[in-house]
Amino acid sequence: MNVKRAAKYGFCAGVRIADRKVKKFAREGHRGAILGQVVHNERVVEEMRQLGVDTVDALAETREETIVFSAHGVPPSFHARAREQGLRVLDTTCPFVYDIHDEAAAALAAGAHLVFIGDPRHREVIGYTHDLDPADYHVLLRVEEAREIDWSRYEKVRIFYQTTLNAGEFEELVRYIESQVPATRRADTICYATKENQDAALALGRDPEVDLILVIGGRASANTRHLWEICRQHKPSHLIQGVADLDPSWFAGVTTVGLTAGASTPDYVVDEVERALRALAPEAAGESGERMAR
């Protein structure tokens, strides 16, 4: 089986730094708990657990001395709450996420109404909005939502994007807001690594040599799912966590498989999948697939 990787894929700098920080912390003999997954990838979470750094869903659940704040960031108040509980903090928040926290605070102080383009349930967006007065912001994903808002109440608006999104896909939404509030400014908050991964996934989808695409990443990873959504518009595509999810029936008649991976997917997982694919002969997908699965 021929395998063609996307030009850009996998760990972004922020996730790579978070991963290294936690592993260094654990290998130095420390123990702690991560508030939510340090990155949205089950393999990484399991690695951390085996190193003695488990995952908790709330600060009150930790029984360790140290709480780890993930790459997605947390509401600023969580730092104070951790100190009140006597916890040490290992902060692995992506610097780019911190930039958005700072820009949002400055815009609010300047009298702007904040609009976050993103998923209100995503931990990154919760980190931005949890401590704010609900009257000071909106979280939007669709232009239909924006049309239900009385924008005449706001003199100026500052728009921020969830870092894992493609800003181009929300142009209609943003232009509508700009048409309602002339004093609207967009913040440059899309993670460039995410954008590069998405552009490379699109190129892979348009590649005439590629018959099928595998997108590797965690089930809870928003950016991985978005890569899959991009790829499936052009080629048969499957979102997998790793080798165990491969289905030999996918590869009947397939000569070349494209590979990409989300920003929370370790390089070694991509390598494992490629090795399994290269052992799979296109003319005997079923037989080789059984060997691969074992």
Ramachandran bin of 253, using left for φ above 0, alpha for ψ from -120 to 50, beta for the remaining angles? left
pLDDT band at residue 111 using 50, 70 and 90 as cut-offs: very high
Amino acid at 113: H
Q: Are residues 81 and 125 in the same domain?
A: no
Q: Which of 47, 68, 93 corresponds to the end of one domain?
A: 93
Q: Are residues 40 and 20 in the same domain?
A: yes
pLDDT score recorded for residue 285 = 45
pLDDT band at residue 167 using 50, 70 and 90 as cut-offs: confident
List Cβ<8 Å contacts ≥24 apart for 285-291.
Answer: 285/248, 285/249, 285/251, 285/252, 285/254, 286/248, 286/249, 286/252, 288/248, 289/246, 289/247, 289/248, 289/249, 289/251, 290/248
**pLDDT tens, residue by residue, 32-50:** 999 987 777 788 888 888 8
Q: Are residues 170 and 107 in the same domain?
A: yes
Here the CATH number for the domain that contains residue 217 is 3.40.1010.20
Ramachandran bin of 33, using left for φ above 0, alpha for ψ from -120 to 50, beta for the remaining angles? beta
Domain range for 31: 13-93
Q: Are residues 66 and 138 in the same domain?
A: no
Cβ neighbours around 211 below 10 Å, total: 18
pLDDT score recorded for residue 293 = 40
pLDDT score recorded for residue 287 = 45
Q: Are residues 227 and 279 in the same domain?
A: yes
Mean pLDDT across 151-173: 91
Number of helical (H) and strand (E) elements in the chain, helices listed first: 11, 12
113 pLDDT higher than 90: yes
Active-site annotation holds for 155: no
Q: What percent of the chain has pLDDT over 70?
A: 95
266 pLDDT higher than 50: yes
Q: List, in order, residues 6 or more apart from 6 with CB less than 8 Å away.
A: 197, 200, 201, 203, 204, 258, 259, 260
pLDDT band at residue 292 using 50, 70 and 90 as cut-offs: very low
Domain count, the chain: 3
Q: Which of 157, 186, 215 corresponds to the end of one domain?
A: 186
Q: Are residues 100 and 179 in the same domain?
A: yes
Q: Are residues 138 and 179 in the same domain?
A: yes
Give CA–CA dist 164/263, Å, rounded: 9
Out of 47, 65, 124, 272, the active site residue is 124
pLDDT band at residue 282 using 50, 70 and 90 as cut-offs: low
Q: Are residues 235 and 280 in the same domain?
A: yes
**pLDDT tens, residue by residue, 101-110:** 999 999 999 9
Amino acid at 195: K
Mean pLDDT across 132-139: 98
pLDDT score recorded for residue 288 = 42
pLDDT score recorded for residue 140 = 98
Q: Which of 186, 203, 222 corresponds to the end of one domain?
A: 186
Q: What is the mean pLDDT of the chain?
A: 90
Give CA–CA dist 215/172, Å, rounded: 28
Q: Are residues 89 and 102 in the same domain?
A: no
Q: Are residues 239 and 286 in the same domain?
A: yes
Q: Are residues 170 and 217 in the same domain?
A: no
Least confident of 159-168, 221-230, 252-261: 159-168
E strands, the chain, are: 2-5, 32-35, 53-56, 66-69, 88-91, 113-117, 137-140, 157-161, 184-186, 212-216, 237-240, 256-261
Here the CATH number for the domain that contains residue 79 is 3.40.50.11270
Q: Which secondary structure element, helix H or strand E, spans residue 111, and what is its range? A: none
pLDDT score recorded for residue 290 = 45
**pLDDT tens, residue by residue, 194-222:** 889 999 999 999 999 999 999 999 887 88
| Token output for 134 | 């609900």
Mean pLDDT across 266-283: 86
82 pLDDT higher than 90: yes
Q: Which residue has the higher pLDDT, 81 or 41?
A: 81
Give CA–CA dist 127/124, Å, rounded: 5
pLDDT score recorded for residue 190 = 67
pLDDT score recorded for residue 281 = 59
Q: Are residues 182 and 108 in the same domain?
A: yes
